[in-house]
Amino acid sequence: MKLLDMTRKYGNATYEYPFAPYDVADGFRGKPEYDYDKCIGCTACGVACPSNAINVELNEAKDKLVWKFDCGRCIYCGRCDEVCPTNAVMLGSNFETAVRFNKEDLTESAELELECCQNCGKKFTTKRLIAYCIENFKKVGWSESVIQEKTKYIKTCPVCKKADSVELVSKHFSKGVKK
Ligand code: SF4
Ligand code: SF4
């Protein structure tokens, strides 16, 4: 009787969930949500993810960048959310992540188009990342000639950049050698 009196006085102390939806608190760290349209393929989330739940790598044919997420490995730390420059991956409010029978249902993936190096023609980064950089060059107010110069630089793969630097340094030193 005493218990019934207390229930009547204070109401229910528990939630109806799972018979009714449960509203999570602000700042709740739920399942990371991925927005393909915002992703530029910078790979920052894959580098930051401590549990390898996110991997960003080239496909077998090396002609696409593949963003992969395995919710079964996620520890909800939020590092991907913190480092993503475009908010393409953010912790959401979904906590109901159980799947039936097939672990593949815990995964999701997306492919991004690659850009070719203007020197050697090898695919090396995403088209979206190049476009994102150019957009930001414009935002900082650089002149057209500077933007063109920077664009040329970012459209060159690391191997060709290295070769260009070596050539430049060699030229510089050969000028200084007395005959
Ligand atoms: S929340 Fe943490 S563990 Fe989960 S995908 Fe993001 S970085 Fe990886
Ligand atoms: S950090 Fe964001 S933009 Fe970069 S690859 Fe990950 S989801 Fe895409």
> Do residues 32 and 93 lie in contact, with contact meaning Cβ atoms separated by under 8 Å?
no
Could you give the domains of the chain? Answer: 26-169 (3.30.70.20)
* Residue 179: predicted pLDDT: 52
Q: Mean pLDDT per 10-residue run, the chain (179 residues)?
A: 82 88 94 98 98 97 96 97 98 94 95 97 96 96 94 96 90 70
Is the Cα torsion angle 99, 101, 107, 109 positive or negative in sign?
negative
CA 126-131-134 angle, 5° bins: 130
In this structure, what token pair is assigned to residue 108?
């999701």
* Residue 10: predicted pLDDT: 85
> Do residues 89 and 47 lie in contact, with contact meaning Cβ atoms separated by under 8 Å?
no
Spatial CB neighbours of 108, under 8 Å, sequence gap ≥ 6: 34, 68, 69, 71
Tens-place pLDDT, residues 120-167:
999 999 999 999 999 999 999 999 999 999 999 999 999 999 998 998
Q: How many angstroms separate the CA atoms of 145 and 128, rounded? A: 22
Q: Report CA-CA distances (Å) from 129 to 53, 58, 112.
A: 22, 15, 10
Q: How many angstroms separate the CA atoms of 163 and 159, rounded? A: 6
- Residues in contact with ligand 2 by the CB-under-6-Å rule are 39-45, 56, 67, 83-84, 86, 88-89
- Count Cβ neighbours within 10 Å for each residue of 152-164 and write b for 16 or more, e otherwise: eeebbbeebeeee
Residue 169 CA, ligand 2 centroid: distance in Å: 35
Q: What is the pTM of this model?
A: 0.88
* Residue 177: predicted pLDDT: 60
> Do residues 65 and 58 lie in contact, with contact meaning Cβ atoms separated by under 8 Å?
yes
Q: Residue 77 CA: which ligand is closest?
A: 1
| Atom 1 of ligand 2, residue of closest alpha carbon | 84
* Residue 172: predicted pLDDT: 82
Ligand 1 pocket, residue 80 CB under 6 Å: yes
Name the residue type at position 18.
P
Q: How many angstroms separate the CA atoms of 173 and 112, rounded? A: 42
Q: How many angstroms separate the CA atoms of 120 and 152, rounded? A: 13
Q: How many angstroms separate the CA atoms of 55 and 38, rounded? A: 17
* Residue 178: predicted pLDDT: 54
Q: Residue 48 CA: which ligand is closest?
A: 1
* Residue 53: predicted pLDDT: 98
Q: Which stretch of DSSP H or E encloses residue 56? A: strand 54-58
